[in-house]
């Protein structure tokens, strides 16, 4: 088995091992409470002031009683994943613009937030000193975007933090080992919200021909968002929109009733009066059978 064949198999095993107990808090007595972050937008701006009675939530098709709702004030555990493959070097100004955007992004974080900066092309590499260093473009025409996203989603999360992956990429992936089945398992069963800042380079034919639908699938499964921008001199605004999107989320908490405890739970969230709004919420969660 090749090295990246082994990586792919390992990701699949890890994804299958993720259970709801690692993703959600529990009430006294061991009854699992599921927490679903929900972002509500109108014309790409957050909709504020909603209350518990505005939402309807279904678990495997069964309407659930929402125990409580709060605005997401949890500190963020952020993996900022930056594509530094050769395609990100054209136009030549992009690497410098990304560096400037990352410096502005750091200033928007709260003291309790945690930031992990990772650059990737052929492989993912952590940038240890996030306070001063920024990624640099590399001369490598091979890109493992989906592999890198999968590994970021499976990274350990800081206790008491909401796990977030923000990826800055032109969307090209020509070498990943993760197939669609593994990708689905990782992003469905992981507890990270994925936001992708997709850089449209010139015509970006390849972005729309191959990768765009996969990126949209990733953000849909995780309750995230795809922010599409043109190659620009300023990446500060799209990264600021990513933070605004994450911090405007509502947290809906409920105890599943009327559905089997184990297995895959499809979650559907809607507004009772929701015309003209866009909801982003994780599509479900997985509960591993209890060993006896």
CATH of the domain at 211: 3.40.50.410
pLDDT at 174: 82
Find out whether 96 and 84 touch, Cβ atoms under 8 Å: no
Buried b (16+ CB within 10 A) or exposed e, 48-71: eeeeeebbebebbeeebebeebee
- Residue 245 pLDDT exceeds 50: yes
How do strand 45-46 and strand 34-42 relate by DSSP bridges? antiparallel
151-171, pLDDT tens digit by residue? Answer: 899 888 788 889 999 998 888
Residues 39, 160 within the same domain: no
Among 83-87, 151-155, 195-199, 256-260, which range has the highest average pLDDT?
256-260
Residue at 225 is within a domain: yes
Find out whether 230 and 200 touch, Cβ atoms under 8 Å: yes
pLDDT at 128: 55
Residues 159, 253 within the same domain: no
Neighbours of 143 (CB within 10 A): 26
- pLDDT band (50, 70, 90) for residue 135: low
Residues 259, 163 within the same domain: no
Residue at 11 is within a domain: no
Least confident residue range of 3-17, 196-210, 225-239, 277-291: 3-17
- Residue 207 pLDDT exceeds 70: no
Higher pLDDT, 134 or 191: 191
Nearest Cα to Cα of residue 147 among 118, 110, 117? 118
Residues 195, 184 within the same domain: yes
Residue at 21 is within a domain: no
pLDDT at 95: 64
Residues 95, 178 within the same domain: yes
Strand partners, 59: 62, 267
Residue at 190 is within a domain: yes
Q: Quick one: average pLDDT of 8-35?
A: 46
Q: What angle do CA 278, 281, 286 make, to 5 degrees?
A: 155
- Give the three-state DSSP class for 59: strand
pLDDT at 92: 56
Residues 109, 58 within the same domain: no
Q: Quick one: average pLDDT of 100-128?
A: 84
pLDDT at 233: 59
Residue at 292 is within a domain: no
Residues 257, 239 within the same domain: no
Measured CA to CA, the distance from residue 84 to residue 98 in angstroms comes to 10
How many CA within 13 A on the CB side of residue 118?
24
- pLDDT band (50, 70, 90) for residue 134: low
Percent of the chain scored above 70 by pLDDT?
A: 76
Own/partner pairs for 130-137, CB < 8 Å, 24+ apart?
Answer: 130/106, 131/106, 134/98, 134/99, 134/102, 134/103, 135/82, 135/84, 135/95, 135/98, 135/99, 135/102, 136/84, 136/95, 137/84, 137/85, 137/86, 137/88, 137/89, 137/94, 137/95
pLDDT averaged over every residue in the chain: 79
Measured CA to CA, the distance from residue 210 to residue 204 in angstroms comes to 11
Residues 65, 140 within the same domain: no
Q: Is the dihedral of CA 157, 270, 256, 292 positive or negative?
A: negative
Residues 146, 269 within the same domain: no
Residue at 4 is within a domain: no
Q: Which residue has the tokens 């309750």?
A: 223
Residues 169, 47 within the same domain: no
pLDDT at 24: 43
Least confident residue range of 161-165, 170-174, 200-204, 267-271: 200-204
Least confident residue range of 187-191, 231-235, 259-263, 285-289: 231-235
Give me the number of domains the chain comprises: 2
Residue at 15 is within a domain: no
DSSP designation for 73 = -
Residue at 231 is within a domain: yes
Higher pLDDT, 218 or 84: 218
Higher pLDDT, 249 or 31: 249
Residues 150, 67 within the same domain: no
Range of the domain at 40: 33-72+249-287
Residues 173, 65 within the same domain: no
């Amino acid at each position: 088995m090749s090295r990246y064949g082994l990586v792919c198999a390992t990701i699949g095993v890890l994804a299958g091992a993720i259970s709801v107990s690692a993703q959600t808090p529990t009430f006294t007595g061991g009854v699992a409470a599921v927490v679903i972050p929900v972002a509500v937008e109108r014309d790409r701006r957050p909709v504020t002031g909603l209350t518990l009675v505005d939402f309807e939530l279904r678990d495997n098709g069964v309407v659930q009683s929402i125990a409580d709702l709060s605005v997401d004030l949890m500190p963020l555990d952020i993996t900022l994943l930056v594509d530094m493959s050769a395609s990100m070097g054209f136009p030549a100004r992009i690497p410098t613009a990304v560096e400037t955007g990352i410096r502005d992004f750091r200033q928007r974080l709260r003291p309790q937030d945690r930031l992990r900066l990772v650059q990737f092309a052929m492989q993912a590499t952590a940038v240890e000193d996030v306070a001063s260093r920024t990624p640099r473009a590399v001369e490598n025409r091979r890109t493992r975007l989906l592999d890198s996203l999968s590994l970021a989603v499976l990274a350990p999360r800081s206790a008491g933090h909401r796990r977030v992956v923000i990826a800055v990429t032109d969307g090209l992936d020509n070498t990943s080992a993760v197939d669609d089945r593994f990708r689905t398992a990782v992003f469905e069963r992981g507890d990270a919200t994925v936001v992708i800042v997709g850089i449209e380079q010139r015509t970006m034919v390849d972005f729309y021909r191959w990768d765009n639908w996969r990126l949209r699938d990733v953000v849909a499964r995780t309750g995230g968002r795809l922010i599409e921008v043109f190659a620009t001199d300023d990446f500060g605004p799209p990264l600021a929109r990513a933070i605004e999107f994450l911090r405007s989320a509502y947290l809906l908490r409920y105890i599943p009733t009327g559905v089997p405890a184990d297995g895959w739970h499809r979650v559907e969230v809607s507004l009772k009066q929701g015309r003209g709004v866009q909801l982003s919420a994780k599509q479900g969660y997985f509960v591993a059978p209890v060993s006896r």
